[in-house]
């Protein structure tokens, strides 16, 4: 079974929430804003952009629906709840939260997800002239960083951004961002393979264990497994599976923290939706 035929994979996502999702968001009861005082804010910036316009452009619904979010006290700017519809803000310097989740407002920030094919080097340039990540971002004039790495032979989800602080936090072990992989391995798994991986084992660079492990499919001579772990050690999935006697034949990263590959086609790149960026901010405490 190919890792790209995982029967649990839902349909591909669009670049904004569906009508059903937006309707669901609009019907949610108001939450207490994360750091808001509960008072009308003085966040107004003369000459700024109307707050409801920023929310609408972030994909949170129509302008009218976004006005209702403000009136319901669900929008926070720079630590205070905003309830005035005339409020204008500077999206480049002020932080905006909806129901305690930060939304992306900085127009100069870029957040992309690529389904990396095998054979592509996880660098923005390669002195040997091999295919690299820059081949997929030539339309972006911004200098982009890749978040973490994937081996040249490993396929799947890799994030690219010019947000240096977010990139550094996502890659830092302190935040323990989980990554999920689908691996086609050689042979049948031993009965205790999953238990060994969850208990952990000593490798040459230290003790490592997986957070979750599932057998997805098994055919004569091959198995497909799913592993979730937060370790960022080099070639960690391949080394773990080698340790339990099942060398990896094909490896695909399907999830990075809250971001899911779904059925995004191989070699395709897309911008993250505002809610996806907000989930990344939340995962690393931004």
Residues catalogued as catalytic: 151
Contact 130, 153 (CB under 8 A): no
Residue from 48, 55, 50, 61 nearest 22 by CA? 61
Structure tokens at 83: 């309830």
Burial of 225 (0-12, 13-18, 19+ CB in 10 A): buried
Residues 6+ apart with CB under 8 A from 157: 113, 114, 115, 116, 253, 254, 255, 256, 259, 260, 261
* Dihedral class, residue 283 (left if φ above 0, else alpha if ψ from -120 to 50, else beta): alpha
248-256 and 155-161 strand pairing: parallel
Q: What is the residue-wise DSSP string for 155-208?
A: EEEEEEES-HHHHHHHHSGGG---EEEEEEEESPPPTTHHHHHHH-EEETTEEE
179-186 and 155-161 strand pairing: unpaired
Structure tokens at 127: 């002195």
80/276 Cα distance (integer angstroms): 23
Residue 240: count other Cβ atoms within 10 Å of its Cβ: 26
122 Cα distance to chain centroid: 17
């Amino acid at each position: 079974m190919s890792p790209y035929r995982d029967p649990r994979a839902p349909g591909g996502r669009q670049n904004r929430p569906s009508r059903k999702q937006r309707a669901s968001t609009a019907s949610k009861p108001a939450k207490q804003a994360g750091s808001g005082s509960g008072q009308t804010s003085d966040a107004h910036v003369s000459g700024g952009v109307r707050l409801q316009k920023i929310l609408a452009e972030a994909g949170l619904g129509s302008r009218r629906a976004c006005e209702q979010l403000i009136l319901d006290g669900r929008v926070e700017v720079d630590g205070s709840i905003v309830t005035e519809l005339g409020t204008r803000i500077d999206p480049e310097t002020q932080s905006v939260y909806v129901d305690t989740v930060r939304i992306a407002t900085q127009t100069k920030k870029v957040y992309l997800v690529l389904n990396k094919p095998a054979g592509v080097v996880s660098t923005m340039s390669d002195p040997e002239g091999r295919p690299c990540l820059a081949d997929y971002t030539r339309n972006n004039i911004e200098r982009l960083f890749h978040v973490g790495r994937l081996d040249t032979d490993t396929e799947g989800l890799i994030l690219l951004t010019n947000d240096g602080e977010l990139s550094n936090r996502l890659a830092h072990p302190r935040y323990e961002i989980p990554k999920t992989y689908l691996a086609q391995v050689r042979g049948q798994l031993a009965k205790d393979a999953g238990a060994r991986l969850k208990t952990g084992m000593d490798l040459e660079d230290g003790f490592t264990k997986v957070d979750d492990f599932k057998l997805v499919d098994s055919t004569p001579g091959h198995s497909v497994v799913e592993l979730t772990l937060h370790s960022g050690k080099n070639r960690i999935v391949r080394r773990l599976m080698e340790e339990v006697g099942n060398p990896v034949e094909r490896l695909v990263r399907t999830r990075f923290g809250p971001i899911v590959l779904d059925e995004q086609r191989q070699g395709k790149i897309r911008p993250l939706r505002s809610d996806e960026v907000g989930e990344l901010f939340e995962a690393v405490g931004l």
